[in-house]
Chain A
Amino acid sequence: MRYNNISGAEAITLALIAENVDIVFGYPGGANLPIYDSFYNHGEKISHILLRHEQGAVHAAEGYAEASGKVGVCMATSGPGATNLLTGIADAMLDSVPIVCITGQVNSEDLGYDAFQETDVVGFSMPVTKWNYQITTADEIAETIAKAFYIARSGRPGPVLLDITKNAQLSIIKEFEYHQCTKIANYHPKWKPIVDKIDTAAALLNNAERPFMVVGHGALISKCRDEVRTLAEKLNIPVGCTLKGLTAFSSDSPLFAGMVGLHGNYAANMMTNECDVLLAVGMRFADRVTGNVKKYAPKAKIIHIDIDFAELNKVKRAYVPINADAKSALKLINERITPKENPKWVEKIAFYRQTELEKIINHDLDPNAEELRMGRVVDAVSSRLPMGAVCVTDVGQNQMAAARYFRHTVSDCLITSGGLGTMGFALPAAIGAANAIQGCNIVAFMGDGGFQMTMEELGAIMQYRLPIKVIILNNKYLGMIRQLQDLYYKGHDYFKELQNPDFVKIAAAYDIPARRVTTQSELNQAVEDMLTTPGPFLIEAQVEKNTNIYPVIKTGGSAGDQVFELPKNQE
C-alpha cells in the first residue's frame, strides 16, 4: 500500500484499514479530531461507535477483541480522555486482551509545558501496557502502528497505547507505505516447546493415578480446545476451568469438574487438592484460584504450560515448566500418551458434584423458593439460549452466579473481567461483543451497583440498536460487599441498602423494552419476551437480598478448604 502527500491523520486511518480494522470505539476531543476527520472520508471501510465515556470505549474494544479474536481498537483525546481509558487498559493487561488504544496529544513543541489537556499518557500508562509509544512526527506512523498491532496480538496478548501528537496528525507525509509487522528484533513472543520437557510431561501424565487438568484463558487465546479435549478424553483426565477459562471445555462433558477457585465448584477444588499430577494450561495460579499457595495442590507434581516465561515458577513452582504456546505443547503431549481408563478417579467428579448439588446448587436453583435467586435467573436465561451464545458478566455476586450457573460450552464465549475485577465492565464490553459478531445471543449479567457505574452506555445501545440483552440482578445491595461484611465484619452493612433508580424507567428513557420480574413465572415470561424481541432488551430481576455466594474457600485455606457455609464474624 503506497500513498503520496497524505496527512498523518490519513495515514493513521489507512494503517488501521491495512490492519483489517473495520470498527473503532471512541470519543472525540480537540487532540484527535484530525483522525476523526479522516474517518469521515472512509466511512465504508471503517465505522466508529461513539460510547458515552472513554472507559466505555476501552471496555468495548476489549469485548470486541474477546468475541472476535481480533485486535480491538479504541480512541480518546488527550488529557481527561486519556486518563479515562486507564481502568480499561489495566483490565486488558491483567486479562491479556489485545487492544490498541490511540490517544491524541498536544503539539510536540508544547510537551511538558502544561498545555491545555496535556497529560503524560505514556508515563502513566507504562505500568499497564504491554508496550506504548509517543508518535511526534508523521513519518513514524506507519512503522509504529504496524508494531503496535503485532505486539498487541502476538505471544501473550495485551494492550498497546499509541499517543499521537496533533502536529504528527496534521503534517504531510511525502511517501506513505504500509507493511504489517511480523518480527521485532528483540521481541520473542513464542517459543518452541522443548522436547525433553514434553517427554517428561507425557510420562508423568501416562503414569499418573489421579491426574487433573486446570485450563485457563491462555487455552482460549491459543485456540486449543480440541487438544484439551483430546488429552482429557484419551487419558480420562478430569478438567477444571478458571473463571477466564470457562468455555475452553464443555460443561456438559462427564470429565468437567467445574470452575476452580474461591467460589468455584467443589469437585474442581477437591480434585485439585487430591490430584497427583496437575497439568496447568495457560493459567497463572492467580490468588483467587489458589487461595493459600502453600497449601495448593499439595500432592501434585505440576506441569505448567504458559507462553509467558515470567509466569513459570512465579507463584507455584512447576515440576515441569513448559514455556510454549499451549496448542503446540498439547499437540506434542497428545502424540505421546497412551489411552487409559480411570473410572475410580473420574467417578469422584459425580460424587463431589452430588455433594455440591445437595448443599448448594439445588438451593440456588430451587424453582419453588419464594424469592428469585441469582442462580435461577442465570439458569432461566442460559437454558433457553441456543448454542453459541455470548455471556458477559460484571463483577460481584452476579459474576460468580453467571460463572457457576451459565451452561458454558465450547461454542460459547464468556467475557468477564478476571484479573482486575472491574465493576462497570459488562455493559460496554457487551457493546464491543455485539459489534464483533452478529446473529448470536449476547446476554450481559450485572448487579445493580455495577450497572450504575457505566449505565450511560445504554445511550450507545440505543443509538446503534445493538441486540444486547441486559439482565440486572438487583439485590439492592453491593452484594459481594454485603457478603464480606456479613462474614468478616460482624454484619456491619456499612453501606446499607442502595437507593436505586427505577431501572425499567431508565431503559424506557433509552427506548429499550424492559421488564421487572420478581417471581419465577414473571421471569420465564420475560426471558421468552427478551429472546423473541429483536434488538436490545432489559430485565431487572429482583433477587433475594441477603444471600451469600457459596461454596467459598476459607480464609487462609486453599482448594481443599472449600466450605458450604462459613460461621459469621470471622477475623
Chain B
Amino acid sequence: MKKKYTFLIYTENHIGLLNRISIIFTRHKVNVETLNTSSCVHEGLHSFVITIISTLEQAKHLAKCIEKQVEVAKVFLYREDQIISQCLALYKIAVDSKDTLRRIKSLVDTWNVRIFEQEEEFVVLEKTGTQANLEMFLKNNLRDFDVREFIQSARIIVTKPMGKLQDVLARRDEAEERE
C-alpha cells in the first residue's frame, strides 16, 4: 500500500548532489512531494528532507540507492507518525479599504496567523501549520479577500526517535573493513 514516507538525508554540501539525489526518484518514476535542504546541527553536514508517496518496499530501496552515493553520510526513512512536521505559508492580500484591513486583523486572533509585513496596498500574513491546514486557511478563511500571492514552504521536520546521529556514524565507522 502506498503511504507518505519522509527521508532525512545527511550529506556533504556539494554542487550537484541535489541532482544526484533527485534523479534517483526520477529514475524510479516517483514524484517528490516536498523537498527541503538546510544546514543542520552536525558540523560539516547538510540535510535534505524529502517526502514521497510510495510503498514501504520501494521507499526502503530508494533510501539504499541514496545512501550509496559517495557524498551521502546517512539516510533515515520515517513514517508520518515518527515525525513532527511543519510548513510555513505567506499570503499577500490586497488592501483597498480600512474595512478590509480590519477584517484581516480579526483573523489574526482567531486563526493563529501573524501580520508579517504591512504596506500601503497590501498585507502579508504568515501562518505555520501542516500543508493541508495552510491550504484550507486559504480556501475557507481568505475566500472573500483579494489574495494576490500564496506561497508555501517545503515541509521541515524533526523526528521523534532520540538516537544520536554521531552514535550511528561512529558504529558505522567501527563496522567498516579497512584494507
Interface set of A (CB-CB < 8 Å, partner B): 122-123, 126-127, 130-134, 151, 182, 184-188, 190-192, 194, 308-310, 314, 324-325, 328
The verdict on A186 contacting B73 (CB below 8 Å), with A126-B23, A309-B64 known, is: yes
Q: Is the interface of A mostly helix, strand, loop or mixed?
A: mixed
B172 at the interface (CB under 8 A from A): yes
B42 shortest CB reach to chain A, Å: 11
- Output the least CB separation between A186 and chain B (Å): 4
Contacts of B71 in A (CB 8 A): 186-187
Contacting residue for B72 out of A123, A126, A186, A328, CB 8 A: A186
Q: Are A192 and B65 in contact (CB under 8 A)?
A: no
User: Are B19 and A185 touching (Cβ within 8 A)?
Assistant: no
Residue B12 at the chain A interface, CB threshold 8 Å: yes
Does B20 interact with chain A (Cβ within 8 Å)? yes
Give complex CA distance A459, B178 in Å: 44
Contact A126 B20, CB 8 Å, known A187-B70, A314-B61: yes
Return the chain B residue nearest A194 by Cβ.
B175
Closest B residue to A187 using CB positions: B70
Check if B70 sits within 8 Å of A184, measured CB to CB: yes
Q: Is the CB of B73 within 8 A of A310?
A: no
A184 to chain B, nearest CB (A): 7
Taken together as a complex, chains A and B put the C-alpha atoms of A309 and B63 apart, in Å, by 11
Known: A122-B16, A186-B72. A191 touches B176 (CB 8 A): yes
Number of residues on chain B facing chain A (CB within 8 A): 25
| Docked CA distance A324–B176 (Å) | 9
Given A310-B64, A310-B65, A192 contacting B70 (CB threshold 8 A): no
Interface of B is mostly: mixed
Given contacts A133-B16, A192-B177, 17 further A-B contacts (CB under 8 A): A126-B16, A126-B19, A126-B23, A127-B27, A132-B16, A186-B11, A186-B12, A186-B74, A188-B176, A190-B178, A191-B177, A192-B176, A194-B175, A309-B64, A309-B68, A310-B67, A314-B61
Across the interface, do B65 and A123 meet the contact criterion of CB distance under 8 Å?
Answer: no
The docked-state distance in angstroms from the alpha carbon of A328 to that of B176 is 12
A-B contact pairs, 21 of them (CB 8 A): A123-B19, A126-B23, A127-B23, A127-B27, A131-B70, A132-B16, A185-B12, A186-B11, A186-B70, A186-B71, A186-B72, A186-B74, A187-B71, A188-B173, A190-B176, A190-B178, A308-B68, A309-B64, A309-B67, A309-B68, A310-B61
Q: How far is the CA of A133 from the CA of B15 in the complex (A)?
A: 9
Q: Which residues of A contact B178 (CB under 8 A)?
A: 190
B179 CB-CB contact with A under 8 Å: yes
Q: How far is the CB of B47 from chain A (nearest CB, A)?
A: 13
CA distance A13 to B54 in the complex (A): 47
Tell me if A182 and B16 are in contact (CB < 8 A): no
A188 surroundings in chain B (CB, below 8 A): 172-173, 176
Closest to B11 in A: A186
Q: Which residue of B lies closest to A156 (CB)?
A: B68
| A130 CB, nearest partner CB in chain B, Å | 7
Report the separation of the CA atoms of residues A324 and B172 in the bound assembly, to the nearest whole angstrom: 13
Instruction: Report the bound CA distance from A151 to B70 in whole Å.
Output: 8
Q: CB-nearest residue of chain A relative to B74?
A: A186
Q: How far is the CA of A192 from the CA of B175 in the complex (A)?
A: 6
CA A134 to CA B20, docked complex, whole Å: 14
B27 and A310 form a contact (CB under 8 A): no
Q: Are A325 and B23 in contact (CB under 8 A)?
A: no
Q: How far is the CA of A130 from the CA of B65 in the complex (A)?
A: 11
> A328 and B68: CB pair below 8 A?
no
Cα–Cα, bound, A308→B67 (Å): 11
Does A324 contact B177, Cβ atoms closer than 8 Å?
yes
Rank and list the top 3 A-B pairs by shortest CB-CB distance, nearest first.
Answer: A310-B64, A186-B73, A190-B177
The answer to whether A130 and B177 have CB atoms under 8 Å apart is no
